[in-house]
Amino acid sequence: MRLYDVDLSSRLLLGTAQYPSPQVLTDAVQASGSEVLTVSLRRETAAGSGAGFWDMLRQTGARILPNTAGCHTVQDAVTTAQMAREIFDTPWIKLEVIGHGDTLQPDVFALVETARILSEDGFQVFPYTTEDLVVAERLVEAGCEVLMPWGAPIGSGQGLRNPDGLRAMRAHFPEVPLIVDAGIGRPSDAAEAMELGMDAVLLNTAVAKAGDPVAMARAMDLAIRAGRAGFEAQPMEPRDMAVPSTPVLGLAELM
């Protein structure tokens, strides 16, 4: 999988919030095989962990994808992205511009505007968006080379609420990397996303809040691998009628 100018082996992007301890986070990252970790600049600063937290993430060897979590305006998101670039020394930014407080649904109008500003400033933008095709077109026009449609509201664990929309998105953007971001609750949800042809899955809460985060990280990795393999194997289409797997011709006749 190639995201902007980076080739990756793992199709699992992992968040770093809400883990029981730094050691559990480190072990979960290792178990998941993830090569990309998302980090909220606000959360990392507010936690007071500072350089220690950053050093811990660096030791995992994973690439950092800072995000603008908690931003509700264009200016707020732009400022946060610029600060993240200075701190983490990367042009990558996961762009979140939240428009609805209860569902954490993105403000797609502000999202497109912010994506254009950041792209023109040299950022490589990973926009958290809906599965709306028109919005996706505008984001691509704004300079985004990756799209990150939600599966369900952030942290809800509801799985894929609109698989048909994601399927349509895959068909409409055959060459654009698509990463399902938010809503994944179980390994089966991640496998379903991959079977639809998504390129990767980004998740956090499903692992961090599991009874055993390390085991769940490993399960998510396996599910994503299985889902991708299933997609590449070109699964059969569903049928309305039963079709016998044993041929009728040649059966013995009982007299």
The active-site residue, picked from 85, 94, 116, 138, is 94
Alpha helix segments (H runs only) across 33-71: 41-46, 50-59
Q: Count of CB atoms within 10 A of residue 253's CB?
A: 4
Active site residue 94: yes
Sign of the CA dihedral 16, 22, 24, 29? positive
Binding region: 155, 182-183, 204-205
What span, in angstroms and rounded, lies between the C-alpha atoms of 162 and 181? Answer: 13
User: Quick one: CA torsion of 117, 65, 132, 130, rounded to 10 degrees?
Assistant: -120
Element (H, E) at 129: strand 124-129
What span, in angstroms and rounded, lies between the C-alpha atoms of 33 and 11? Answer: 9
Residues in the chain, how many? 255
Binding region for 1-deoxy-D-xylulose 5-phosphate: 155, 182-183, 204-205
Query: Which residues are the active-site residues?
Result: 94
